[in-house]
Amino acid sequence: MQSTQVTTDAREIIEPSGKDTEFVFFSGKGGVGKSTVSCATATWLAENDYNILLVTTDPAPNLSDIFGQQIGHKVTDIDGVDNLSAIEIDPDQAAEDYRHETIEPMRELLNDEQISAVEEQLNSPCVEEIAAFDNFVDFMDSPEYDVVVFDTAPTGHTIRLMELPSDWNAELEKGGSTCIGPAASMEERKKDYERAIDTLQDSEKTSFAFVGKPEDSSIDEIQRSASELVELGIESQLLIINGYLPGSVCEDPFFSGKREDEQAVIERAASEFGANAMATYPLQPGEIAGLDLLADVGGVLYDGDDATVNVGSATNVDIDESVYFDSLTDPDAVTEKLQPVDSETRYLFFTGKGGVGKSTIAATSATKLAEAGYETLVVTTDPAAHLEDIFGEPVGHDPTSVSQENLDAARIDQEQALEEYREQVLNHVTEMYAEKEDTEIDVDAAIANVEEELESPCAEEMAALEKFVAYFDEDGYDIVVFDTAPTGHTLRLLELPSDWKGFMDLGSLTKGAAPAKGDQYDKVIETMQNPDKSSFAFVMYPEYTPMMEAHRAAEDLKDQVGIETAFVVANYLLPEEYGDNAFFANRRAQQQQYLSEIKDRFETPMMLAPLRQDEPIGLDELSAFGDVVTGLDTVERQPAEVSPQ
């Protein structure tokens, strides 16, 4: 089976059907080919005589690379394609513009102290999301275009922020605050935001597509995101699976087996997304750039053409891989970042975009550290409970033994964490008002407002943060490994002014509505900033988008929170002993190019992890994989005699 396609439906979804401007959104994790598909779709529409604007809000934009011309933060005509323009929105500039537009009208009305408070409030990480949403709103009024194609759609998190508070008028009248600034500052945008959400929910005006790789974890993540959008009234209408292995190049058992697994995932997706259109596109020997390859992608997805895989387009670069890899990595330097210093607990954070293998790397590192004699706890915030699948044993909300001496595991259940946080906040609010006998506040109404605001995505983020912070008080562990470290977005919540810590200032959920934990948060931040106590590692595979997104996130951690990256993990490196043909020679050369760039950009030790035919499952396979990637000296593993807690 070369591919599974429903191209007629895909074409019907993408092509405009009326006179009004329509919108096509592409969503997906970094490195799945979302930008490629967006560019190919925009080009295909333009070649079919529609006037098209392509907009990216991706923090690591590569439209300029794909089209081979400079684009940037302004609408630019694309060379060689009539009717097509594009713009790369700079998210930092967009956020700064939003802050400026919010603050400037207030300068004549507020004193310096009040202006300073607003400026601090606008340092909330949610502002960046809303600034990107503002750009979407601005491009809604574009009658000169038949279709506006967005590379990177608003997330469910962002849309839910725009729906807060539910009663706009009441919030504006009382001059309340939100995590995106004073409510009064949004009065002029109120109708625009409501109209934007109505447009997103209108399937006659808006099409929504997910792009993913042919991997179970990628499909799982898409299903979760699609379900969240459906709950917000936004239907996902198209699924594009990108980058499956072409049958003609899989000439050995290793890659033949990989291809069989991918085709099984494609069949699964076709079954589970049955009501939606689905299309697929194969992996190419190099990166997709230029109008010819974009035309090939568009033809396959929307015209039902057969894909052209130019296997003979291999690079002439000849690199001795063993020497090259040895020059990239220093196992001793990585090992030093994994182990405790002076009997202090070491905290390891493995972070990266979905699908880069961070859960496997975290579990592998934890297994080898436990074998080395360290009391180890590995914690995941992955909502798919992938850690349980990796160990092949149950992993609960609280630390549980996984039948390996010195090794426990836990999975933060987001719903349970949110319920615990809700209970904590509401109990505190009730006690706070009970102590104020002479208050004129309507206590029942105040508590009702708090309950409403605890439905916000900011409350979910704070709940996860609370649970994360609690693991710094876990006793008895030499090492705590976090799978999916808190992002710069989350950690900046800890960096809000000290009298804000421990709550989100959302309307009536004002200062004091949640227990103050400033000292505890300060201690956690200091621990994460201390390289002798904490190590942050970014996991990526060696391609442009994953590398750039990881680098941006690392810079954000350093600039916003003062946390340095300890090492990086380059995952899914093509094995030298398999794939002996021009196709894989080209892919290896491309990986080597990006490995060198990763080394230059991050200037940290590097852990190298090879592509496996199957993901390591169970302690024995994790231990064997750890021997390859971690460089840790271990003792013989013995089954734990401790019963699960």
pLDDT digits (tens, 9 = 90+) for 217-246: 888 888 888 888 888 888 878 999 999 999
The secondary structure of residue 489, as a DSSP letter, is H
For residue 474, pLDDT beyond 50:
yes
Q: Which residue has the higher pLDDT, 274 or 98?
A: 98
Outline which parts of the chain fall under CATH 3.40.50.300: 7-303, 322-629
β-bridge partners, 348:
481, 535
Q: How confident is the model at residue 504 (pLDDT cuts 50, 70, 90)?
A: very low
Count the neighbouring beta carbons within 10 Å of the beta carbon of residue 132. 23
- pLDDT, the chain, mean: 80
Range picked from 102-116, 317-331, 402-416 for highest mean pLDDT: 402-416
The CATH superfamily assigned to 322-629 is P-loop containing nucleotide triphosphate hydrolases (3.40.50.300)
Instruction: Look at the block and give the residue holding tokens 């992002």.
Output: 487
The model carries a pTM of: 0.83
Q: How confident is the model at residue 441 (pLDDT cuts 50, 70, 90)?
A: low
The confidence score (pLDDT) of residue 487 equals 59
What's the half-sphere exposure (Cβ side, CA atoms, 13 Å) at 75?
13
Task: Catalogue the E-assigned strands of 464-558.
Answer: 479-483, 534-540
Residue range 413-422: mean pLDDT, rounded: 85
The confidence score (pLDDT) of residue 85 equals 96
Q: How far is CA 602 from CA 464, 551, 596, in A?
A: 28, 7, 10
Instruction: Look at the block and give the residue holding tokens 């302690």.
Output: 619
What are the percentages of helix, strand and coil residues in the chain, rounded to 5? Answer: 50, 15, 35
Q: How confident is the model at residue 3 (pLDDT cuts 50, 70, 90)?
A: very low
Q: Which of 611, 622, 618, 630 is nearest to 215 (CA)?
A: 611
Instruction: Look at the block and give the residue holding tokens 């990177």.
Output: 152
| Separation CA 215–CA 613 (nearest Å) | 12
The confidence score (pLDDT) of residue 467 equals 82
Q: Which residue has the higher pLDDT, 349 or 191?
A: 349
Q: Which of 69, 66, 63 is nearest to 87 (CA)?
A: 63
The confidence score (pLDDT) of residue 266 equals 94
Of how many residues is the chain composed? 645
For residue 362, pLDDT beyond 90:
yes
Q: Which residue has the higher pLDDT, 587 or 61?
A: 587
**Torsion 79-81-82-88 (CA) sign:** negative
The confidence score (pLDDT) of residue 639 equals 44
The confidence score (pLDDT) of residue 640 equals 40
* 468 contacts 412 by C-beta, under 8 angstroms: yes
Residue range 623-635: mean pLDDT, rounded: 80
The confidence score (pLDDT) of residue 500 equals 37
The confidence score (pLDDT) of residue 522 equals 80
pLDDT digits (tens, 9 = 90+) for 274-293: 757 899 999 999 888 889 99
Residue range 600-609: mean pLDDT, rounded: 92
Q: Which residue has the higher pLDDT, 320 or 104?
A: 104
Rg over CA atoms, the chain: 25
The confidence score (pLDDT) of residue 642 equals 37
For residue 314, pLDDT beyond 60:
no
Residue range 57-63: mean pLDDT, rounded: 78
The confidence score (pLDDT) of residue 357 equals 87
What's the half-sphere exposure (Cβ side, CA atoms, 13 Å) at 501?
21
The confidence score (pLDDT) of residue 432 equals 73
For residue 16, pLDDT beyond 50:
yes
The confidence score (pLDDT) of residue 516 equals 56
For residue 526, pLDDT beyond 70:
yes
Topology adopted by domain 7-303: Rossmann fold (3.40.50)
Long-range contacts of 343-347 (CB under 8 A, 24+ apart): 344/532, 344/533, 345/477, 345/478, 345/479, 345/480, 345/533, 346/478, 346/479, 346/480, 346/533, 346/534, 346/535, 347/472, 347/479, 347/480, 347/482, 347/527, 347/528, 347/533, 347/534, 347/535
Count the neighbouring beta carbons within 10 Å of the beta carbon of residue 314. 18
Residue range 383-396: mean pLDDT, rounded: 80
